[in-house]
């Protein structure tokens, strides 16, 4: 469904760019085909981890899971620094450590006892590592202008879909495909695809223009919104350790965000 929604934009951009640069698509495929494959495989794996993690998490899955996935800021800082040469100041490193403490506190249900970590939330904690690898691999062709955000979304979703279909029929050959012909399921799949398409489009437009860690930090309010809707719609209880962990994470991300903006402004002033 996401591919169907993003296809018109991807095709329009491809035709428009081909008129100006006839060989740009061939060049993108020739130089970056391996990146597209990595992105497809990585996000197929991430989707499996995503649903597996939430399935195992059980009670308070939406709240704990959304907080656990804020590990993305840790992975984006590390991978952005190592592979994309993105700078990380001492302040950013210190508050990244505080984010880890907040995550560990939340995942251990407010006890700091590793034995209390739910395997589902642990999977969701590790999943953003795959996201970060995929996004860091995608960043170069986006910055070079050889491919657009819509084209990246279409290619990654197409490859991931093929992999997931094969995985499904290999691991569960007797899957009930009638689920895909239920109108209620179709409606939910469409709504999920729509939210994914809009979210991914905004995400790839952001990492094209700003560094990976900053893009991740901008999403800081997401667990707050998730917690609210989980409490309102799913009647999930919000525990004290959720509030404490989320507060540590949210404030640390804001400080990292402001520090990155400060460094960016300083670099702009030096350039001028």
Q: Which residues contact 264 (CB under 8 A, 6 or more apart)?
A: 214
How many helices (H) and strands (E) in the chain?
A: 11, 0
pLDDT tens-digit series, residues 190-242: 898 998 899 888 888 888 877 776 777 777 677 777 777 877 887 888 889 98
In the predicted structure, residue 272 carries a pLDDT above the cut 60 = no
pLDDT over 90 (residue 267): no
Q: Write down the pLDDT at residue 148.
A: 86
Residue 19 has pLDDT above 70, yes or no: yes
The number of C-alpha atoms within 13 Å of 132 and in the hemisphere containing its C-beta is 28
> Domain limits of the chain?
2-17+25-171+200-265
pLDDT of the residue at 175:
66
> Per residue in 86-107, pLDDT tens?
777 888 889 989 999 999 998 8
Q: 58-74 as b/e, with b when 16 or more CB fall inside 10 Å? A: eebbbbbbbbbbbbbbb
pLDDT at residue number 229 = 80
């Amino acid at each position: 469904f996401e591919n169907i929604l993003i296809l018109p934009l991807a095709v329009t951009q491809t035709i428009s760019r081909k008129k100006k640069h006839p060989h740009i698509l061939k060049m993108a495929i020739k130089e970056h085909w391996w990146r597209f494959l990595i992105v497809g495989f990585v996000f197929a794996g991430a989707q499996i981890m995503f649903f597996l993690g939430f399935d195992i998490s059980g009670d308070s899955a939406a709240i704990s899971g959304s907080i656990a996935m804020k590990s993305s800021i840790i992975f984006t800082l590390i991978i952005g620094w190592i592979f994309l040469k993105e700078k990380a100041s001492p302040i950013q490193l210190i508050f990244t450590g505080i984010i880890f403490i907040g995550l560990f506190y939340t995942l251990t249900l407010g006890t700091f006892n590793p034995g209390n970590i739910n395997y589902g939330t642990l999977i969701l904690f590790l999943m953003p590592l795959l996201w970060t690898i995929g996004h860091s691999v995608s960043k170069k062709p986006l910055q070079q202008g050889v491919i657009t955000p819509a084209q990246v979304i279409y290619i990654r979703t197409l490859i991931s879909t093929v992999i997931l279909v094969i995985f499904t029929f290999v691991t569960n050959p007797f899957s009930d495909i009638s689920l895909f012909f239920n109108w209620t399921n179709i409606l939910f799949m469409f709504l999920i695809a729509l939210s994914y398409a809009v979210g991914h489009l905004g995400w790839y437009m952001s990492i094209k223009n700003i560094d990976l860690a900053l893009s991740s930090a901008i999403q800081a309010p997401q667990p707050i919104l998730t917690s609210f809707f989980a409490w309102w719609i799913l009647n999930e209880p919000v525990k004290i350790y959720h509030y404490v962990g989320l507060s540590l994470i949210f404030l640390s991300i804001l400080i990292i965000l402001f520090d990155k903006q400060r460094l960016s402004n300083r670099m702009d002033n030096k350039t001028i």
